[in-house]
Structure 1
């Protein structure tokens, strides 16, 4: 079950220097009772003030290319205000460096502005529930880069940490983008147990994100 804010809706802030983009997002979401755009801004500085004014905001959709304050600068500053914010980048373009910069800054997703209403809703719901979300093109590019990295020989001292059979099963399903709910169904265990395994795997592999975990797993041939 997704974690929603009070009153059973996910409060969203949209930041883009083009008002047309903001209006488009609001139009795509206006018929969704579980998601509500509660704040909007055309500048990063204004958006930061709105985050203080609207502490109920759970998800932020932000453009990356903006004057005065870039999307990356905004993400870092917004996370200083509220470390629990789930921030997703919206862009017309994508490349490996841009996506990894967003993740390093504290973002949890990257979507193309050409997305449709169903994808937008799915993305907001997933990140609000604590997961990451990438448009299909972005996800494919990340996996290709991870696979190329995995083909490079690992240093001799970089031996994989031992994982239990169950942890390896969970890891395999995480790599296939299964949600905690679906992993629990697949392995006949509770979602709380899945979350415990997920945290243990991240700790054991010293990974700070799912992307880092998948990179580790590919490098050590823990997943196919």
Structure 2
């Protein structure tokens, strides 16, 4: 379960991109930032997994390119989140079509930043993701919202009326907490979490976690 990081703690990063010049560029971009440290770099998904097998206790955020040979960033994100759930995944890409962003969310990615981002935005994305939150570049968030299916009857409607507990659980779902982790964080039973989760899907007319997050973004229900 992700925990807030103390302000003085350094966030350790793994950079993965099949272009060495891109990796060096990101390292140079982040070098002036205090509290961020690139501790490892890889040029393929296979190399990244090998590094993580040795260094996973020290790595907190993996910054991944999408398009890599042998193993895509989406595939790598899925493996990382399965094997090392404490490591947060941030995608850095030139592309932000809806299908790709949705697939990234389903794979367990916590954020999606475009390669056109400046140092301030990339740094902020890393820090937010390390805190267990989600981060999307403006254009990426717009892509999600523009492509979400909104029934005609709901166009222009007010957001669903959620209870305080439902809002808490929605925030934790967006942070990728499992039902068990949510139950432990809020001192309630897993059965109660499941009930609230079903209510959230019903109230927002969502069919998947991606749809739920899209709804929450559209109505500014999550930070």
Query: With structure 1 as the length reference, what TM-score do the two structures score?
Result: 0.71
SS at match of 1:131: coil
Contact 2:11–2:36 at 8 Å: present in 1 too? Answer: yes
Aligned to 1:179: none
CA–CA distance in 2 between the matches of 1:122 and 1:217?
A: 21
Identify the residue that residue 174 of structure 2 maps to in structure 1: none
Give the gaps of 5 or more residues in structure 2: 172-184, 187-191
How far off is 1:202 after superposition?
A: 5.0
Q: Is the partner of 1:67 in helix, strand or coil?
A: coil
TM-score by length of 2: 0.72
CA displacement 1:30-73 (0-9 Å, x = unmatched): 11220100000001011011112212111111011111111111
- Measured against aligned partners, the alpha-carbon deviations of 1:90-109 in whole angstroms (never above 9, x if no partner) come to 11111000000111111111
Name structure 1 gaps, 5 residues minimum.
155-159, 175-194
Count of aligned pairs between the two proteins: 188
- Structure 1 residues 93-130: Cα deviation after superposition (integer angstroms, max 9, x where no partner): 11000000111111111111111000011000000111
Aligned CA distance change for structure 1 residues 152 and 50 (closer, same or farther; 3 Å) = farther
Shift in CA distance, 108/217, structure 1 to aligned 2, threshold 3 Å: closer
Cα distance in 1 for residues equivalent to 2:9 and 2:59: 13
Label 1:5 to 1:51 Cα distance change in 2 as closer, same or farther (>3 A).
Answer: farther
CA contact (8 A) 1:205 1:216 kept: no
Question: Partner residue of 2:43?
Answer: 42
Distance 1:217 1:107, change over 3 A: closer
Q: Distance in 1 between matches of 2:147 and 2:107?
A: 19
Alignment-derived partner of residue 212 in structure 2: 213
Match of 1:76 in 2: 78
Which residue in the other structure is 1:15 paired with?
A: 16
Aligned residue in 1 for 2:136: 134
CA contact (8 A) 1:150 1:218 kept: no
Query: Residue in 1 aligned with 2:151?
Result: 151
Aligned to 1:28: 29
Query: C-alpha displacement at 1:142, in angstroms?
Result: 0.8
Shift in alpha-carbon separation, 1:136–1:151, aligned structure 2, 3 A: same
- C-alpha RMSD of the superposition: 3.5
How far the C-alpha of 1:212 sits from its partner, in A, is 3.7
1:180-219 mapped onto 2 (5 Å cutoff): 204-206=199-201, 209=209, 211-216=210-215
